[in-house]
């Protein structure tokens, strides 16, 4: 179950800055109580992530998510 990540909010934030003029949407998630924003272009699929107003790499984000959701071994 990933209930903690379910509280996502979708916000349109204008046009893509990648030159494709697609619509950008921002999805807000909460990882360990911190707001994490994923900005995604619906056309070129370019994605950027930020946390606490700072750009973060997806890999470090995944580490946070893993830490927030300890793997549960199937019993």
Using CB under 5 A as the criterion, which residues of the chain lie in contact with Zn ion when the complex forms?
Answer: 16, 18, 20, 22, 41, 43-44
Closest CB to Zn ion among residues 16, 37: 16
Half-sphere exposure of 59 (CA within 13 A, CB side): 0
CB of residue 3 vs Zn ion: minimum separation in angstroms? 31
Closest CB to Zn ion among residues 22, 64: 22
CB of residue 48 vs Zn ion: minimum separation in angstroms? 11
Using the 8-state DSSP alphabet, how is residue 57 labeled?
-
Closest CB to Zn ion among residues 15, 61: 15
Backbone angles phi, psi at 53, to 5 degrees: 80, 0
């Amino acid at each position: 179950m990933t209930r903690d990540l379910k509280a996502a909010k979708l916000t349109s934030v204008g046009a893509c800055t990648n030159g494709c003029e697609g619509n950008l949407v921002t999805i807000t998630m909460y990882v360990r109580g911190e707001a994490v924003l994923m900005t995604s272009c619906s056309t070129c699929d370019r994605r950027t992530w930020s946390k606490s107003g700072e750009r973060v790499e997806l890999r470090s984000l995944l580490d946070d998510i893993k830490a927030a959701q300890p793997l549960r071994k199937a019993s």
